[in-house]
Structure 1
Amino acid sequence: MGRPAETLANVTLAGSGLDRRAELRTDRHLLGRLLAVPDTRVLELRGDRVAADEGPDGARLRLRPPEASDGGRLAVFLGADARDVMYVGVVGDPLPHEDGAGGSGPATGGEGDGLVTLRHVAADLDDLEAGMFATLLALANWHRSHGHCARCGAATQPQQSGWVRRCTNEGSEHYPRTDVAVIMSVVDEQDRLLMAQGAGWGTGRYSVLAGFLEPGESLAQAVAREVREEVGLEVFDVQYLGDQPWPFPTSLMVGFTARADSGALRLQESEIADARWFTRDEVRAGVADGSLAVSSRLSISRRLVEHWLGHEITGVR
C-alpha cells in the first residue's frame, strides 16, 4: 500500500481547531468547575441535533453559558480553542418525538426551533465547530449504548470528564470505541470509476464501495476483500488518500484509491443492487440532469469521486 503525493483536500470533519487538552480529563472536579464559570461555552445535544444559525456565509453553532440543569446531565469536556476558551458538551432532554436514543429523524427540528443534525450542517461549519459537534455526537452515541459493563452486566458510570465509563461492580474501565471502515475509488484501465448502488437505496443513487475493517486485517487487505466480496474484482495499487471521522454512530472512514482490470462484475446481492463503470462525462451528465445522485458534500465518498473527476461537483448539496 502506498501513499500518493496528492491527498484529499477539504474533507469535512477532518480539520483541526479544537485542542482536546486530554491531560485535564483526569481532574474529577473539572466539569464542575467549568459548568460554574459563565465564560465556559456549552454545546447542548438533543437526540442527534444541536441548535445552529444558518446564513449566506455558513453556519454557526448556538453555544451558550452553563445552566443550573447541566450539573445533572451527561457532560463531556470537549477541549479549548486558541484563545483558551473552554468547551463542554451536554446531552439534553430528548426531543418530543424521540425516546432518548438519538434517532435520525428529519434534518431539522421541523418546528422552527433551529435544531439541525450534523449531516445537515457540518459542511457549512468551520473546523472548530464541526469538530465539536462530531465529537459530542460520537461520544453521546457511545454512552447511550454502553450503560452496562460488557464483563459482568453491572451499570457503568461516566468518568474522566465523559471520556471513560467505569463499572460500578468490579471497577473495569471502558473506553470509547471507533469502528474503522475503508472506502475506495476503484478505477479500471480505461480510467473509469466503479460505483455501486446499495440494496434498498433506490434508483439513481450510486457511490464508491466501502466496508468495515475486520480483526487481523490490514487496511489494504480490507480494501481488497471488500471489492472482491461486493463485485468480484481483484484490486492492486492500493493508495491512501485521506480519512474522516464519521460519528454515525462511531466510525472512522479511511479513503483509498485502487486499480482493477475491468471484467464481469459478480454482485453480492445482499449488499449491492447494481454496479457499473462510469466515465467522467457520464458522471457529469448524470449529475447535471439528475439521473445520478451522488453522496452529499459532507461525506468523504463525495471527495473520492471529485478527486477522480478532477474538480468539485457544484450545485448539489
Structure 2
Amino acid sequence: MTLPHLALVADPHDRRGLLRTDDAWLAERWDDPTSRVLVVSGTRIRPVEGGIEWLPTAQAPDGVRVLLGDRDGVTWWAVIVGSELGRSEPDRWVPLRGLLPSFTDDLAREAPLVFHAMGLAEWHAAHRHCPRCGGSLEPRAAGHELVCRDCGKPQFPRSDPAVIMLIAAGEPGSPEERCLLGRHPSWPAGRYSTLAGFCEPGETLEDAVRREVAEETGVVVGEVTYVGNQPWPLPASLMVGFHGRAISERVVLEDDDVEDAGWFTREDLRRGAESGELVLPGGVSISRSLIELWFGGPLPGSW
C-alpha cells in the first residue's frame, strides 16, 4: 500500500550543497529570470489561492537569501525577512502547521522545498547569538551556516531525532490484535494518535521507543521494528517511525502529556473512524502511515 506521508518526500530537489559557497554561481542563479523565491516572514509564509506564492527573485525583498536547490530546471530560493511583515497581516501569513492540510495532490510536490525553507527559517529565528561567547551571528553558505562575528565559531542546522511508534499486542493479524493510541489533554474530544517522544543523549532509537511508551502509558515494549521517517520542521525534528510489540498491556498514565490511552482493534478503528467518534492523524503525517500500515489499508477521516 502507498504510505500517506511519503507524498511529502516523493519529489526531492537537488540541494546543490557543494555550490553554497560559490558566489559567482549563486549570483548567476539569483539573477536568472526563471529562478523563484519563497518569502518567509520570521517563521511564517503567505499562501495564495491554490498553492504557495513563489516570486521571481527580482521581486523579492531584502533579507537572508537561502538556496534551496534545483528542480525541473529551476533554481529555488527562500528569503527570510523580519517577523514584522507577517505581523502586519496576521490573517494572510501562516505558520507551517497551518499549511499541512494543504499538502495533498499537486501541492505535495512543493513540500520538500517548503520544509527545507521553513526548517532553516526556524533555525535562524532560534539562533541569534553565539552559544560560546554570545556574539552576533552572520549567515554564510547561502543561509546554511551561521558564523560568530567575534570568536569565529560556526553553527550548523540541526534536526532533533524523535521517535513515533505504533505499539501492537495480541496475535499478529488476528481479529483480537490491537494497537495502542493516546491523546494529549489539549486535543478535541475523540482525537487519538500514536505515541511519540524525543531521543535522549546516548540512547538508541529503539530504546527511546521503549522508554517513551513506558513513561507515557506504563506499557512495556519488546521487539521494535523500523518503518520509515519524515522531516518535521516544527520547529526542527526528524520523526523516525517504528512498529513495536507489547509484552505488557496494563495502561498506567503518569505523564501529563497523555490524558488518555487505550487499545484499539482493527474493528474499533474502522467503526470509530467511519462514525467520526475516533479522529485519527492527518494523511500527510507518518503517524497516519503507521496506523494504516498496521490496519492494512486506508481509513476514513482525519484531523
TM-score, structure 1 normalization: 0.85
Shift, 1:121, TM fit? 1.9
Matched, 1:164 2:145: yes
Shift, 1:116, TM fit? 9.1
Query: Cα gap change, 1:151/1:314 in structure 2, threshold over 3 Å: closer, same or farther?
Result: same
| Distance in 2 (alpha carbons) for counterparts of 1:314 and 1:293 | 9
Letter in 2 for 1:90: V
| Distance in 1 (alpha carbons) for counterparts of 2:84 and 2:274 | 37
| Distance in 2 (alpha carbons) for counterparts of 1:43 and 1:124 | 20
Match of 2:118 among 118, 122, 137: 137
1:118 touches 1:133 (CA, 8 Å); kept in 2? no
- Give the stretch that moved more between structures: 288-297 or 121-130: 121-130
Structure with more of its chain in helix, by fraction: 2
Shift, 1:186, TM fit? 0.2
Which residue is 1:57 aligned to?
none
Matched, 1:251 2:237: yes
Query: Cα gap change, 1:206/1:141 in structure 2, threshold over 3 Å: closer, same or farther?
Result: same
Query: Cα gap change, 1:97/1:82 in structure 2, threshold over 3 Å: closer, same or farther?
Result: closer
Shift, 1:196, TM fit? 0.5
Matched, 1:80 2:70: yes
Query: Cα gap change, 1:29/1:99 in structure 2, threshold over 3 Å: closer, same or farther?
Result: farther
Matched, 1:307 2:302: no
Which residue is 1:282 aligned to?
268
Letter in 2 for 1:23: L
Which residue is 1:265 aligned to?
251
Q: SS where residue 115 of structure 2 aligns?
A: helix
2:20 touches 2:141 (CA, 8 Å); kept in 1? yes
Q: SS where residue 216 of structure 2 aligns?
A: helix
Which residue is 2:173 aligned to?
none
Letter in 2 for 1:75: R
Match of 1:51 among 47, 52, 55: 47
| Distance in 1 (alpha carbons) for counterparts of 2:97 and 2:45 | 5
Matched, 1:109 2:92: yes
Query: Cα gap change, 1:306/1:33 in structure 2, threshold over 3 Å: closer, same or farther?
Result: same
Shift, 1:315, TM fit? 4.4
| Distance in 1 (alpha carbons) for counterparts of 2:254 and 2:242 | 21
Match of 2:17 among 10, 19, 22: 22
Which residue is 1:66 aligned to?
57
Query: Superposed, which structure 2 residues align to 1:86-105 within 5 Å?
Result: 86-92=75-81, 94=83, 98=87
- Give the stretch that moved more between structures: 160-169 or 16-25: 16-25
User: Which consecutive unaligned segments of at least 5 residues does structure 1 have?
Assistant: 1-5, 55-59
Match of 2:181 among 195, 220, 223: 195
User: Which consecutive unaligned segments of at least 5 residues does structure 2 have?
Assistant: 171-175
Match of 1:154 among 108, 131, 135: 135
Shift, 1:280, TM fit? 1.1
TM-score, structure 2 normalization: 0.88
| Distance in 2 (alpha carbons) for counterparts of 1:141 and 1:169 | 23
**Cα deviation code 1:178-203 (max 9, x no counterpart):** 01100000000142010011132232
Shift, 1:99, TM fit? 8.1
| Distance in 2 (alpha carbons) for counterparts of 1:39 and 1:257 | 44
Q: SS where residue 150 of structure 1 aligns?
A: coil
Match of 2:221 among 223, 228, 235: 235
Q: State the identity %.
A: 37
**Cα deviation code 1:194-227 (max 9, x no counterpart):** 0011132232111111000110011111111111
Which residue is 2:34 aligned to?
39
